[in-house]
């Protein structure tokens, strides 16, 4: 999944754009079961795995100690469990349905290539330690600067959380991007809080709505450019297969034009997750309402909800 930072539009953003947000989540998890003839713990997500995916998951599990040793070479005890997105990965107890859901994400992101998936998982764990994810989550960011930029509101018809990126909500670009490192910490923390809405038992992906209302593609600061480039790389490299659909709404005409120009060069698999939508509640609602119930969708996007909470 490629993620674009607010307000910026670069060649890497074009790849993301071209490569492509209810009901309540069930109150109880699906009971653990077993694959016929096997002892694999199951949930509603693992039951959808293909045979090739199961094969890859088992291969990754067999190499889990080596994965952790490479990710955390300074740890004295490699048998200590690791938590990724709220899921405990215990090398002493690798058969866990939620762990299988995490592992298959890395496999899918690398076309079921076990070696490449292993490499991606190692690099993700290393980066999370270096970035100090927990500290970013605890950091207090200026509410007036960052709070308007991101919202989590409602769920789609299958229970996936809907996450909004409101790129034009703060016109003070110097406040947002003046400190690029701070922006990146906020953006990663917002993504991590969005992932907290996933249980990895019934729901393991989110829907994103990227709203470009009020955004000008002609006035970009150096901070914007740096933030966009680095954020795009972070989300592409370290957050695999967490996106179900992404909708670009109220898109400036220039961005839409570039989309149509480059669309033939993007894979169908990637494109199917993304939708370029026009402007206005009626136009946007035609595209979003088949995915999100009207009572879960704000009026500004063609729904019935008053506004984003």
How far is Cα 165 from Cα 211, in angstroms, rounded to an integer?
A: 6
Q: 83: which residues sit within 8 A by CB, 6+ positions away?
A: 89
Report the pLDDT value the prediction gives residue 8, as an integer from 0 to 100. Answer: 37
Closest to 213 measured CA to CA, from 239, 248, 242, 178: 248
More confident residue, 127 or 266: 127
Report the pLDDT value the prediction gives residue 229, as an integer from 0 to 100. Answer: 83
- Across 259-278, average pLDDT: 72
pLDDT tens string 200-213: 999 999 999 999 88
- Across 261-273, average pLDDT: 67
Residues 271, 19: contact at Cβ < 8 Å? yes
| Tokens at 147, concatenated | 């709070």
Cα–Cα distances in Å, from 88 out to 99, 159, 176? 7, 23, 34
- CATH architecture for residues 136-301: 3-Layer(aba) Sandwich (3.40)
pLDDT tens string 41-82: 999 999 999 999 999 999 999 999 999 999 999 988 878 899
pLDDT tens string 290-301: 999 999 999 999
Residue spans in the chain of domains classed CATH 3.40.525.10: 136-301
Strands 82-84 and 87-89: antiparallel
Q: Three-state SS across the chain?
A: CCCCCCCCCCHHHHHHHHHCCCCCCCCCCCCCCECCCCCCECCCCHHHCCHHHHHHHHHHHHCHHHHHHHHCCCCCCCCCCEEECCEEECCCCCCCHHHHHHHHHHHHHCCCCHHHHHHHHHHHHHHHHHHCHHHHHHCCCCHHHHHHHEEEEEECCCCCEEEEEECCCCCCHHHHHCCHHHHHHHHHHHHHHHHCCCCCCCCCCEEEEEECCCCCCCCCCHHHHHHHHHHHHHHHHHCCCCEEEEEEECCCHHHHHHHHHHHHHCCHHHHCCEEECCCCHHHHHHHHCCCCCHHHCEHHHCCCECCCC
* Residues β-bridged to residue 151: 164
Reply yes or no on whether the pLDDT at 170 is more than 90: no
pLDDT tens string 74-119: 988 878 899 999 999 999 998 999 999 999 999 999 999 999 999 9
How far is Cα 168 from Cα 228, in angstroms, rounded to an integer?
A: 15
Q: Rounded to the nearest 10 degrees, what angle do helices 51-62 and 64-71 cross at?
A: 60
Report the pLDDT value the prediction gives residue 223, as an integer from 0 to 100. Answer: 79
Report the pLDDT value the prediction gives residue 221, as an integer from 0 to 100. Answer: 74
- Band (pLDDT 50/70/90 cuts) for residue 17 is very low
pLDDT tens string 172-231: 888 999 999 999 999 999 999 999 999 999 999 999 999 988 876 666 677 777 888 898
Report the pLDDT value the prediction gives residue 112, as an integer from 0 to 100. Answer: 97
The whole-chain average pLDDT of the chain stands at 85
How far is Cα 29 from Cα 103, in angstroms, rounded to an integer?
A: 19
Closest to 292 measured CA to CA, from 213, 197, 284: 284
| Tokens at 193, concatenated | 């809080």
Reply yes or no on whether the pLDDT at 6 is more than 70: no
Among 7-21, 49-63, 269-283, the least confident range:
7-21
């Amino acid at each position: 999944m490629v993620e674009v930072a607010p307000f910026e539009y670069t060649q890497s953003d074009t790849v993301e754009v071209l490569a492509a947000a209810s009901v309540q989540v069930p109150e109880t998890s699906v009971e653990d079961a077993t694959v016929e003839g096997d002892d694999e713990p199951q949930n509603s997500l693992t039951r959808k795995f293909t045979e090739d995916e199961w094969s890859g998951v088992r291969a990754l599990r067999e190499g889990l100690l080596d994965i952790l040793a490479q990710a955390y070479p300074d740890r004295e005890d490699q048998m200590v469990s690791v938590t990724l997105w709220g899921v405990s990965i215990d090398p002493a107890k690798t058969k866990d349905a939620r762990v299988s859901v995490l592992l298959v994400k890395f496999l899918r992101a690398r076309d079921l290539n076990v070696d490449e998936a292993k490499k991606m998982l190692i690099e993700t764990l290393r980066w999370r330690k270096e970035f100090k994810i927990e500290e970013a989550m605890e950091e207090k960011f200026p509410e007036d600067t960052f709070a308007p930029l991101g919202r989590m509101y409602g769920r789609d018809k299958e229970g996936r959380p809907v996450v909004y990126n409101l790129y034009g909500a703060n016109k003070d670009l110097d406040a947002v991007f003046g400190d690029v490192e701070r922006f990146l910490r906020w953006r990663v923390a917002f993504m991590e809080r969005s992932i907290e809405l996933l249980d990895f038992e019934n729901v393991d992906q989110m829907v994103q709505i990227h709203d470009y209302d009020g955004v000008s593609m002609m006035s970009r600061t150096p901070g914007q450019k740096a933030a966009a480039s680095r954020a795009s790389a972070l989300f592409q490299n370290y957050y695999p297969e967490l996106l179900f659909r992404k909708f670009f709404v109220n898109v400036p005409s220039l961005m839409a034009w570039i989309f149509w120009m480059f669309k033939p060069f993007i894979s169908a698999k990637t494109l199917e997750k993304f939708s370029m939508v026009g402007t206005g509640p009626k136009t946007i609602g035609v595209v979003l309402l088949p995915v999100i119930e009207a009572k879960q969708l704000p009026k500004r996007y063609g729904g019935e909800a008053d506004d984003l909470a």
